[in-house]
Amino acid sequence: MFDSKQISSGAGWQFGGQFTWNLNTRVGLNLALDYDHMYLQQDTVLLEWDWAYWDQRYIDWLLMGASAQEVDSLSRLLEYWRADSSFHGVFEPHQWVQEYRFAAGIQLRQPITEKLLFYTDLNVGFDRYQRRLKMVEDWMKIFKWSWDSTSYANGDYEENKMEVYQTLSDLHRENPEIYHLSYNDSTKVYSFRYDYYRSVTHFAPNRSGIRYFAAPQLGMRYAINESVDLDLAYNTVFYLQGSFAEKLDDFFKSGSGEKWFPMRGKQQFKLGLTFKY
């Protein structure tokens, strides 16, 4: 359950542990620690991130004088291409969220057979998260040169331009698939073209905070032997919203973590082992 309508999907993994102190055969007290790592798909993340470097370097400088459509193309379509520029850039955002969850609660158990039981956990706690963004940029620049063959043959060009032509001709002979040199019989003009590619990676400032949550869980447990049980569970995490979450932020002086957190909740299936001692 994503909070932002722009996030199309997400997938990840989690590991953790829960310690349960049995008060009796049916009731126990829980203390749970979990680490959750989720990758998010969001093409319009740049419109949300408030990244000063991106706005200053790409919007204000690179797109100086650009139309609204060109600015939107860079931030939303993640591609830079202008008719008056030899540059072409394609941007690929990689976004992920890391969560460290701490919870406490109660466990209720109902034995079915000697080896099988059903249980429910009712946990509440807080989540310290960090949301991160990496932008991979693939750039291409087109270099073009042209020479008039008659002027070249007559030596009318300056010495440095003659040297450039000779250097580019040598490059073409060494690797014609990369360094393209062509000749137009009608215009008597040599044309040289070289496409330069470069990949660049930038990391945006991290967005972090604390969220409070409730996490009910339903599961079943099968005793493999006297010391180890096999667990299968369905877990739901509800992140607290609105005024109640704000009161908790004020009480614990944790600041507002809701702004940058992209989820309202999540559903998980868990497979694990319980060690009895």
The whole-number pLDDT of residue 258 equals 83
The whole-number pLDDT of residue 3 equals 64
Q: So where are the chain's domains?
A: 9-51+95-133+208-275, 141-195
At the second CATH level, the architecture of 9-51+95-133+208-275 is: Beta Barrel (2.40)
The answer to whether residues 148 and 154 touch, using CB atoms and an 8 Å cutoff, is no
The answer to whether residues 164 and 190 touch, using CB atoms and an 8 Å cutoff, is no
The whole-number pLDDT of residue 102 equals 97
Question: What are the two backbone dihedrals, phi and then psi, of residue 214, each rounded to the nearest 5 degrees?
Answer: -120, 140
The whole-number pLDDT of residue 22 equals 94
- Cα 131 from Cα 34, distance rounded (Å): 17
SS3 letters across 104-159: EEEEEEEECCCCEEEEEEEEEEEEEEEEEEEEEEEEEEEEEEEEEHHHHHHCCCCH
pTM of structure: 0.76
The answer to whether residues 229 and 271 touch, using CB atoms and an 8 Å cutoff, is no
Would you write out the chain's pLDDT as a tens digit for each of its 277 residues? 666 556 778 888 999 999 999 999 999 999 999 999 999 988 788 888 889 888 887 777 766 666 666 666 677 778 877 666 677 888 899 999 999 999 999 999 999 999 999 999 999 999 999 999 999 999 988 888 887 877 777 777 788 888 888 888 888 888 888 888 888 888 888 888 888 889 999 999 999 999 999 999 999 999 999 999 999 999 999 999 888 888 887 877 777 778 889 888 889 999 999 998 8
